[in-house]
C-alpha cells in the first residue's frame, strides 16, 4: 500500500518560506506585487484566480486582479500587458489561461516581459529552462518536483515517465527531471503501447486530462505517482488521470486528486513572484 503525498501540507511549507522571503523584501522597502489578468468567465479560471488572490494576500504579496470582458479585443489585452510590463509596482503578472477563442494566446504570452513572466510561459523562460539555466519555471512543473522531493526518493538514474507534452506541464517537468539526472521518457496521444512505458516508470507523472487514463495495474511496484489531472465527473466530483484506488495498491507514493498537485501550483506562483520582486530590485534570487 503506497503512501499519500499531501500536497496541501507540502504547499503550506512552500508558502511559509515565501512569506519569510516577502517579509525580508518588505524590510528592505520592497513590496512584491502580482498582477492577474483574467479575460471572460471560464468557470475553472474563476476558481483558480480567486485562490491565487487569496494565497497572495496570505503571504503578504499585493495581488491585483484585472478583469476584461469576454469580448475584449486582442488590442485591449495587449495594451493591458504592455501597461503591466511598465508598471514598477507590478513585479510579476500572469494571464490566466485559457483565453477566449478569438484571442491569439501565443502573441499575448510573447508580449509579457520575460523578467515579469512569473508563469514561466514566455519562450525566453522556457528556453532558459531547456538549456539548464532556469529563471522562471512554470509553477505546476516546479510543484511536481517539490512533491517528488518530499518523498525522499532520489531521482538520479531513475526512469521517469511523463505522460502529456504540454508547454506548461509535460515539457517543463521533463526538462526539470532531466536536469536532476533522471532518464526521461515523454509519452503522448500518439505513443504506441503506453502501458509498456508506464509499467517501467520509477517515477510517473501524468498530465493529460482524461479520467482514469492509467489503470492501477499498469503502475510499477513502489513507483512515485504524480497525478496532475483534475477532471470533473458527471456527479460533480473531481478525479485524476490515474485510477487512484488501483494505483495506491502498487505505488510507493501517490498524490491524491484533489489535494495533490493543485495547491502546489499556487504556492510556486507566489514563490516566483517573490523572486521576481527580488530580481527587479537587484537583490538576487536568494535575497
Ligand atoms: N491555466 C491552467 N493552469 C494555468 C497556470 O498555471 N497559469 C495560467 N496563467 N493559466 C493556467
Indicate if ligand 1 lies below 6 Å from the C-beta of 119. Answer: yes
Compute how many other C-beta atoms are within 10 angstroms of the C-beta atom of residue 7: 26
Going by CATH, does the domain composed of 30-115 fall within 3.40.50.10860?
Answer: yes
Read off the pTM.
0.97
Which of 42, 94, 144, 273 is the pocket-test mutation for ligand 1 (most atoms within 8 Å of CB)?
94
Q: In the sheet that 159-163 helps form, which strands lie side by side, from edge to edge?
A: 3-4, 253-254, 224-227, 203-206, 159-163, 183-187
pLDDT digits (tens, 9 = 90+) for 25-63: 999 999 999 999 999 999 999 999 999 999 999 999 999
- Residue spans of the domains in the chain: they are 30-115, 139-262
What is the Å distance from ligand 1's center to 172 Cα? 14
Written as nine digits, the cell of 163 is 505522460
SS3 200: coil
Q: How far is the CA of 1 from the centre of ligand 1 (A)?
A: 33
Q: Is the CB of 139 under 6 A from ligand 1?
A: yes
Do the domains 139-262 and 30-115 match in fold? yes
pLDDT tens for each residue of 143-189: 999 999 999 999 999 999 999 999 999 999 999 999 999 999 999 99
Identify the residue whose C-alpha is closest to ligand 1 atom 8.
96
What CATH number should be reported for the domain whose range is 139-262?
3.40.50.720
Amino acid at each position: 500500500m503506497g503512501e499519500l503525498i499531501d500536497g496541501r501540507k507540502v504547499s503550506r511549507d512552500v508558502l511559509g518560506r515565501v512569506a519569510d522571503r516577502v517579509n525580508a523584501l518588505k524590510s528592505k522597502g520592497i513590496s512584491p506585487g502580482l498582477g492577474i489578468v483574467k479575460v471572460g468567465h471560464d468557470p475553472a479560471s474563476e476558481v483558480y484566480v480567486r485562490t491565487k488572490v487569496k494565497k497572495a494576500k496570505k503571504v503578504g504579496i499585493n495581488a491585483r486582479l484585472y478583469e476584461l470582458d469576454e469580448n475584449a479585443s486582442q488590442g485591449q489585452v495587449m495594451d493591458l500587458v504592455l501597461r503591466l510590463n511598465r508598471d514598477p509596482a507590478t513585479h510579476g503578472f500572469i494571464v490566466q489561461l485559457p483565453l477566449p477563442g478569438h484571442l491569439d494566446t501565443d502573441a499575448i504570452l510573447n508580449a509579457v516581459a520575460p523578467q515579469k513572466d512569473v508563469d514561466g510561459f514566455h519562450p525566453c523562460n522556457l528556453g532558459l529552462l531547456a538549456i539548464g539555466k532556469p529563471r522562471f519555471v512554470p509553477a505546476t512543473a516546479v510543484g511536481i518536483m517539490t512533491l517528488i522531493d518530499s518523498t525522499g526518493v532520489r531521482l538520479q538514474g531513475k526512469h521517469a515517465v511523463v505522460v502529456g507534452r504540454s508547454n506548461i506541464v509535460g515539457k517543463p517537468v521533463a526538462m526539470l527531471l532531466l536536469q536532476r539526472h533522471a532518464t526521461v521518457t515523454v509519452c503522448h496521444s500518439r505513443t504506441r503501447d503506453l502501458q509498456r512505458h508506464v509499467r517501467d516508470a520509477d517515477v510517473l507523472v501524468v498530465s493529460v486530462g482524461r479520467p482514469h487514463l492509467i489503470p492501477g495495474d499498469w503502475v510499477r511496484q513502489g513507483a512515485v505517482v504524480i497525478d496532475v489531472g483534475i477532471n470533473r465527473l458527471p456527479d460533480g466530483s473531481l478525479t485524476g488521470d490515474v485510477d487512484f484506488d488501483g494505483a495506491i495498491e502498487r505505488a510507493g507514493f501517490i498524490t491524491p486528486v484533489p489535494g495533490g498537485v493543485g495547491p502546489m501550483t499556487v504556492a510556486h506562483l507566489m514563490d516566483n513572484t517573490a523572486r521576481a520582486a527580488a530580481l527587479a530590485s537587484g537583490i538576487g534570487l536568494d535575497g
